[in-house]
Amino acid sequence: MRTSSKHWISIITMAASAAIVLLILNSCTTVAIKEKVDMSETKAVAHRGGALLAPENTIEAFQAGIASGADQLELDIHLSKDDMIIVMHDPTLQRTANRSGAIRDYTAAELKQFNAASAHQGHSPLEIPTLKEVLDLVKDTDLELQIEIKVDKDGNRYEGIEERLIALLKEYELIDRSIVISFDFPTLARIQELQPSLRTGALVSKAYMSKIGSKGPKAVAEGIKALQVDYIGINHTYLSPALHQELRNQELGIGAWTVNDEEAMKKIAALGVAFITSDRPDLLVATLRP
């Protein structure tokens, strides 16, 4: 029995179409699948590098955090006048650098002239670091980063900070070793839009807990889950067993901050969390791994 040319063309066309559909489905599946948060071990996070070990958010603090044996370094970022990513907690300079004005008012070169250790009487002067300098410090280690994107002194997002951050993390091949965290939820949405593979964590403020938390633990967990983030970072005093369970029901990674007391560290670790953030990462590591 002879098969016609038209019949063979039809078979080939159908096979090609099926192959294309399968390829598309496989591609979609690859994008959609995201690794579940590992809650099997509590990681130690050095808050601002180790804010009780050295002046916060300085290279000296990050070196202390690394030396402590912490698993992750936490740091805060802003944009300078010339759009360089600067590492500092506050949007203004008064508290840590004893200068007037905001980070956004100065270029990176000008900020380098200020002393990031001004709040520490008798301490030798330290520069305000750029994010690039911190990445240079950690690139050859196995540490992870928690990078908190801040807003400016007026509570507004820095235009383009997400793009600049992602570009630097790609340059240093640190996308897989980084978590972007923020109290500003639109910032996290922008990160997810630009780089879906980059892990994100929503930080929960006192105002959020006063408003949403008043509706109960389930409302908090469902609200955070709706943001499509991987983690929630919450003040450890708010982390009740009931809230912990609701967050786990939503398969969210749980992080507790800022825990500087040994007994509190033990209590939170026993509850089961993905990470604990502390100004004393040395004490935290010793407590988690006696």
Spatial contact of 157 and 78, defined as CB atoms under 8 Å apart: no
- pLDDT value of position 40: 81
The CA distance from 171 to 185, in Å, is 25
The pLDDT confidence band at residue 31, using thresholds 50, 70 and 90, is very low
Residue 194 token pair: 């630009």
Specify if 112 maps to a domain.
Answer: yes
Domains identified in the chain, total number: 1
Is 28 inside a domain boundary?
no
For residue range 261-287, list pLDDT tens digits in order.
999 999 999 999 999 999 999 999 999
Q: Give the domain CATH number at 149.
A: 3.20.20.190
93 closest CA partner among 113, 74, 75, 121:
113
Residue 185 lies in a domain: yes
User: What is the token pair recorded at 159?
Assistant: 């235009």
pLDDT above 70 (res 189): yes
Examine residue 33 and state whether it is found in any structural domain, yes or no. Answer: no
Tokens of 5: 């040319």
Mean pLDDT, residues 149-160? 98
Asked whether residue 68 is domain-assigned, the answer is: yes
Q: What is the pLDDT of residues 199-231, one digit of tens each?
A: 999 999 999 999 999 999 999 999 999 999 999
Q: Which domain holds residue 168?
A: 42-288
- Distance of alpha carbon 31 from alpha carbon 251, whole angstroms: 19
Domain assignment of residue 9, yes or no: no
The answer to the question of residue 95 being in a domain is yes
Long-range (24+ apart) CB contacts under 8 A made by 183-187 are 184/149, 184/151, 184/157, 185/227, 186/157, 187/149, 187/151, 187/157, 187/161, 187/162
> Pairing between strand 72-79 and 178-182?
unpaired
**Annotated catalytic residue, options 7, 78, 89, 236:** 89
Which member of 47, 78, 236, 244 is catalytic?
47
The tens digit of pLDDT for each residue in 113-123 reads 999 999 999 99
Q: Which pTM was predicted? A: 0.88
Give residue 206's pLDDT.
Answer: 94
Residue 235 has pLDDT above 80, yes or no: yes
Q: What is the mean pLDDT of the chain?
A: 91
List, in sequence order, the alpha helices (H) in 172-240.
Answer: 185-194, 206-211, 217-225
Active site residue 47: yes
Give the pLDDT band (50/70/90) at residue 37. Answer: confident
Catalytic site includes residue 89: yes
Phi and psi (nearest 5°) for 184?
-95, 105
Q: Is residue 19 part of a domain?
A: no
Res 39: pLDDT: 74
